[in-house]
Chain A
């Protein structure tokens, strides 16, 4: 079974540019999560999809971030325009269940550097 994949693995952009990150969850997983780890800080929750619907987007930092999950399969996270403080590692995770069986399977992350 293929794991969670993320693309690209690294992205270096200039301030003001746009970047789109992609996450492909494990097939059949309805739950998809985005997290972000800024250097030296905790991994922070961004948002949670159940199928194509946003269940919780309370962690999205501002309206420069837009997440979509068309058709309930893969998800994209777009940052437009990017700012310096957006640099960090963006993780995607998926799970089949919620609750105690909420084992979230993580992707390798996308390292975003904004110059």
Chain B
């Protein structure tokens, strides 16, 4: 079974600085999808960024980028120029790519605080 591990329960970053959230996963599949979701306090979870495993190029979405290391099964999220609105729970998630349900397997989450 696939597992996703987020080893940092809590992180903090100074406003305008850069922070990296860690995520490792375990799978025997060669192709799959990886996601980072963000859940602000008392708000819905939203997709931040996604990566397809067969693509070596790291995904980037504005201030958010990933460092995808397939051999190491690592998928870290880098947030540049952190803003107060980035404060949230961040969940790393895995999804299989073959035919099936595409259920997401989540890590426990990392609570990010942004210090003004």
- Tell me whether A104 and B44 are in contact (CB under 8 A): no
Given A91-B45, A103-B50: A41 and B104 within 8 A (CB)? no
CA distance A56 to B104 in the complex (A): 12
**Using Cβ atoms and an 8 Å threshold, which residues of chain B touch A98?**
102
CA distance A21 to B107 in the complex (A): 24
Residue of B nearest to A106 (CB): B45
Residue of B nearest to A3 (CB): B44
Residue A18 CB within 8 A of the other chain: no
Contact of B105 among A3, A45, A55 (CB under 8 A): A45
**Using Cβ atoms and an 8 Å threshold, which residues of chain A touch B105?**
42, 45
- Tell me whether A55 and B101 are in contact (CB under 8 A): yes
- Tell me whether B104 and A104 are in contact (CB under 8 A): yes
- Tell me whether A59 and B103 are in contact (CB under 8 A): yes
**Shortest distance from the beta carbon of A1 to any chain B beta carbon, whole Å:** 14
Residues of B within 8 A of A (CB): 4, 33, 37, 43-47, 50, 52, 91, 95, 97, 100-109
